[in-house]
Amino acid sequence: MDLNNKKVLITGGGAGIGRALVAELVQRGVQDLAVVGRRPEPLQALATEFTGVRFLLITADVSRAADLERVVAEVIDAWGGLDILINNAGVVSAGLLTELSDEDIIQQIAVNLTGLILLTKKCLPLLQQSQEGAIMNISSGYGYIAMPFYSVYAATKAAVGQFSDAMRRELHQYPLHVMTVYPAATATDMMKTAVVRNLDSAEDVAQAAVEGLLRRTINVVLGGPEREAQIRTNFLEPEKIDAVAIASFEALRERTATHRSM
Ligand SMILES: NC(=O)c1ccc[n+]([C@@H]2O[C@H](COP(=O)([O-])OP(=O)(O)OC[C@H]3O[C@@H](n4cnc5c(N)ncnc54)[C@H](OP(=O)(O)O)[C@@H]3O)[C@@H](O)[C@H]2O)c1
């Protein structure tokens, strides 16, 4: 895929992995970028840092359908088309299911899943007109291997992977590549309230994701061969991963006690 002259819409592009994706895409030639986030300041900062890029900065909340309508209307107004949609915005709230507030459960699903599906639906008439387009959905390693204290987050992220696979098969007659990225723990604001070692950098995740896009990789899984082996084990012998989760249960409870980014 040639990224020059591609029109790209990314959610959550003002911070973390999304911001690193913006930098990676700009470095590889993208000049038209629509970036969505709730806070205007991180969006404005992009225009200051990446001069020469034609940004469409849209303050919007992906959990609100009316905001998503406005996002797509602004893209149509400015460009009349769209080649690449990157659904990156996401939030987490960790804890035992019995301890999670109803609001945090509903909002994790609304941001990580419902918003992603609705934005995809609303962008599809544009994407289906692209001569060479893509949909990149950001899931998580927890989308493959669920862990205690992350039941809702993991459920949203597993659903993201299934949604991507269904969309790719549903859209087979269009020149659209549909892919999923499964980051491991990454050093971003999302992880500031968790105690985790050995974090990937957001730049490494973005590089792997964009290289995957260029190679038309379907699933970009961060975490190396060890992670891929764990995914196979989780599928074929889930009781082995159960044993790992049980052995680290109390440590995980401590490390995730305050993990919340919403
Ligand atoms: N960091 C990790 O360890 C890790 C691991 C696996 C997967 N992921 C996934 O990677 C993606 C990016 O995460 P990150 O670590 O970069 O998180 P982050 O640093 O917290 O950044 C999240 C971005 O999403 C935006 N956002 C959050 N809620 C939004 C909403 N309702 N509407 C619009 N924008 C919203 C935020 O901007 P505003 O606050 O201004 O809205 C921010 O730009 C997420 O989908 C996450 O689940 C992260």
Any idea of the CA torsion for 124, 210, 182, 98, to the nearest 10 degrees? -60
Pick the CATH number of 7-256 from 3.30.420.240, 3.40.50.720, 3.90.420.10, 3.20.20.140: 3.40.50.720
Does 56 contact ligand 1 (Cβ within 6 A)? no
Least confident interval from 21-25, 114-118, 190-194, 213-217: 190-194
Residue type, 207: Q
Catalytic residue among 150, 153, 174, 182: 153
Q: Known catalytic residue: 150? A: no
The SS3 assignment for 131 reads coil
Per DSSP bridges, beta strands 84-87 and 7-11 are parallel
Mutate to test the pocket of ligand 1, among 9, 10, 11, 17 (most ligand atoms within 8 A of CB): 17
Average pLDDT of the chain to the nearest whole number: 97
Q: How confident is the model at residue 27 (pLDDT cuts 50, 70, 90)?
A: very high
Q: How confident is the model at residue 197 (pLDDT cuts 50, 70, 90)?
A: confident
Does 183 contact ligand 1 (Cβ within 6 A)? yes
